[in-house]
């Protein structure tokens, strides 16, 4: 069970308490121990790094989706090796994270043998942020790219009807002796979870995030969720999102966000589709000049931060260190709702 120091609106929990709460809720609602453990790890990492849209809040979606009967809460992923540089993991309609955990060692080993390797995850319910996965690839000394579709919530630039998912794109680059360079963002203006959090707290959304059902700009979170979200960077985000649909969908024999949405119907559950991850080995691709290449990369990254521009993930790494020292503050209403899902 969980405890913590309470103030009026927020509750302070240690990272271990966040993990224990997550595992307990997932286990009591029917997830097998291996699935509960990996899902809880990712949710805990999100809360720890102050990524509220993909932290504890996601437990409700996992439990709701499980209750819809669509998800297999205990399926063991099936790993196949269709080519030297490819590992394919069929999640068998379970959540994606166990498939990633089991596929990662094969991805890393193949990238180190071939210079580049692809991990295609199929038939997975996917709710999670991608940075934990590209960070894990970077821990092997590899550059990593990850992408996934979701549900058709986002209108293409110039249109008003949803086609794309919020389609995140993540990238990690290993750096000597410190955190990797990492970015991970939705190709919509923001993640849908961010708009859902605005709706929960009754806050308006900024203009430019979404349009309503009639195609008109809106600052009402609920109206935006009912209408269509917008891509970031106009036609550029639209094109990137299209690429993600194609590469993490049909290319790997899996669904687009439109197909995933059609399968879901009106359940409102976690999207079911595929995910594509790519790992690249600088030792093989870098023409044997690892030290020189690393110096070039570091000089370029220093030229960004050296002028006061922040690197993506810098905020997250600072939040991580703070949470490790002080624990995390969780909205009390959210905490109570999570406890009502079945924690002691």
Out of 17, 96, 122, 166, the only residue in the binding site for ligand PYC (CB under 6 A) is 166
Determine the 3-state secondary structure of 67 from DSSP.
helix
Span interacting with ligand NDP, options 16-24, 34-42, 299-307, 308-316, rule CB under 6 A: 308-316
| CB closer to ligand NDP out of 11 and 190 | 190
Burial of 246 (0-12, 13-18, 19+ CB in 10 A): middle
Binding map of ligand NDP across residues 244-283, x = CB under 6 A, - = no contact? ----------------------------------------
55, 149, 193, 224: which one binds ligand PYC (CB under 6 A)? 193
Q: Report the chain's terminal Cα–Cα distance, integer Å.
A: 5
List the one residue from 29, 41, 53, 92 that touches ligand PYC (CB under 6 A).
53
Please pick, among 135, 194, 245, 275, the residue that the annotation labels catalytic.
194
DSSP states of 237-261:
HHHHHHHHHHHTTGGGT---HHHHH
Three-state SS at 139 = coil
Is position 61 an interface residue for ligand NDP (rule: CB under 6 A)? no
Question: Cα–Cα distances in Å, from 194 out to 57, 68, 117, 199?
Answer: 11, 23, 32, 9
Please report whether residue 190 would count as binding ligand NDP according to CB under 6 A: yes
Member of 2, 22, 42, 150 binding ligand PYC (CB under 6 A): 150
Told to check if 127 binds ligand PYC by CB under 6 A, we report yes
Closest CA to 31 of 79, 67, 78, 77: 67
Tell me whether residue 54 is one of the annotated catalytic residues: yes
38 CA to centre of own chain = 13
CA distance 228 to 213: 7
Q: Which residues within the stretch 207-246 sit at the binding site for ligand PYC (CB under 6 A)? A: none
Out of ligand NDP, ligand PYC, none, what residue 312 binds, judged by CB under 5 to 8 A for its kind, is ligand NDP
Tokens of 266: 């009106």
Which is the catalytic residue, given 14, 53, 196, 314?
53
- Out of 27, 103, 168, 269, name the contact with ligand NDP by CB under 6 A: 168
Element containing residue 82 per DSSP (H, E): strand 78-83
Q: DSSP string spanning 87-125?
A: EEEEEEEEEHHHHHHHHHHHHHHHHHHHSEEEEEEEEEE
Residues designated catalytic: 53-54, 194
* Residue numbers at the binding site for ligand PYC (CB under 6 A): 53, 127, 150, 166, 186, 191-193, 271
* Residue numbers at the binding site for ligand NDP (CB under 6 A): 51, 53-54, 126-131, 148, 150, 166, 168, 170, 183-186, 190-191, 194, 310, 312-316
């Amino acid at each position: 069970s969980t405890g913590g120091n309470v103030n009026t609106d927020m509750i302070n929990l240690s990272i271990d308490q966040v993990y224990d709460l997550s595992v307990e809720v997932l286990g009591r609602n029917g997830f097998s121990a291996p699935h509960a453990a990996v899902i809880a790890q990712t949710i805990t990492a999100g809360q720890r790094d102050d990524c509220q849209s993909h932290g504890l809040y996601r437990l409700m979606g996992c439990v709701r989706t499980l209750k819809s009967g669509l998800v297999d809460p205990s399926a063991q992923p099936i790993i196949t090796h269709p080519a030297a540089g490819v590992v394919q993991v069929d999640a068998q309609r379970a959540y994606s994270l166990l498939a990633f955990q089991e596929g990662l060692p094969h991805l890393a080993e193949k990238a180190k043998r071939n210079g580049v390797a692809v991990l295609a995850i199929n038939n997975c319910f996917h709710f999670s942020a991608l940075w934990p996965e590209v960070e894990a690839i970077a821990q092997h000394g590899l550059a990593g790219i990850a992408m996934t579709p979701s549900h058709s919530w986002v209108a293409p630039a110039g249109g008003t009807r949803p086609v794309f998912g919020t389609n995140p794109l993540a990238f990690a680059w290993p750096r000597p002796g410190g955190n990797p360079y990492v970015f991970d963002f939705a190709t919509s203006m923001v993640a849908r979870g961010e708009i859902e959090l605005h709706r929960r707290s009754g806050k308006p959304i900024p203009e430019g995030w979404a349009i309503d059902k009639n195609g008109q700009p809106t600052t009402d979170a609920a109206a935006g969720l009912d209408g269509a979200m917008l891509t970031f960077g106009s036609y550029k985000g639209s094109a990137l999102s299209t690429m993600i649909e194609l590469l993490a969908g049909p290319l790997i024999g899996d669904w687009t966000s439109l197909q995933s949405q059609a399968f879901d119907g009106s359940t409102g559950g976690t999207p079911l589709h595929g995910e594509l991850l790519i790992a690249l080995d600088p030792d093989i691709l870098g023409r044997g000049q690892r030290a020189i290449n690393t110096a070039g990369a570091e000089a370029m990254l220093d030229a960004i931060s050296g002028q006061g521009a922040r690197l993506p993930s810098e905020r997250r790494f600072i939040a991580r260190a703070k949470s490790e020292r002080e624990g995390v503050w969780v909205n009390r209403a959210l905490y109570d709702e999570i406890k009502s899902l079945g924690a002691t």
